[in-house]
Amino acid sequence: MNSTRRMAPLLAPSLLAADFGNLQFETERLAASAADWLHFDVMDGRFVPNISFGIPVLQAVHRHAKQPIDVHLMIEEPQHYLSAFRDAGAANITVHYEACPHLHRVVQQIRQLGCRAGVALNPHTPVSVLEDIAPDLDLVLIMSVNPGFGGQAFIPNTLRKVAALKELLVDCGSEALIEIDGGVTLDNAQALVDAGADALVAGSFVFSSPDPVATLAQMRQQLTASAEQQDFR
């Protein structure tokens, strides 16, 4: 038997795919679900070609949320808004490498605010760019679709990228979690975990299903069973 128990990954349903007209209901029904975090995508129409929601909506969601809120800032100049998102309820704040010319400074700002600090990479950005900052990170988010829209198809090369990131983090002595965002379903979830993923963001797959809570439970059951099988090999 393996002496180190392998934990099932964190599940983070993305509210970008939820019913915007009924976010209180969506948030409250996830309270007792298998969700570990609630993923909150912020888009500004500049860094990505879409606009989603921002600080007032996060405040409203936070009032009804039971899980920590995982905020993903797909915006230009995120350093100007970090404290506002923390005050609105963010537990994790992830910024994009591509949007931060002074990334180390921004990461330190997030950590000083008491939030987990994450950096996201677009599909074309190699993991090697994080080599010098990896030990300072709590989270690395790999975009498995091009950012800006929900419901896109998963990019298969993500599996190779996750494995490369895992190797980099180990080599750097970083304990950062690896999070995957985009096109996550039951068909690829286990492969992502096997490659090294620690947290899975699922949007359309969860909220387009007849019962999002049951879908999350199915994901949890499948991934937990696999982790237990690995533990006893």
Active site (catalytic) residues: 41, 181
In 3D space, the residue among 34, 29, 33 whose CA is nearest the CA of residue 19 turns out to be 29
Alpha helices of 19-155 — where are they, by DSSP H? 23-29, 55-64, 82-88, 103-112
User: ∠ CA(156), CA(67), CA(44), 5° rounding?
Assistant: 60
Structure-block tokens of residue 156: 């298969």
Distance separating alpha carbons of residues 33 and 28, to the nearest angstrom: 10
CA 142 to chain centroid: 8
Q: CA-CA-CA-CA torsion for 210, 211, 217, 223, nearest 10 degrees?
A: 30
DSSP letter string, 133-166: TGGG-SEEEEESS-TT-SSPPP-TTHHHHHHHHH
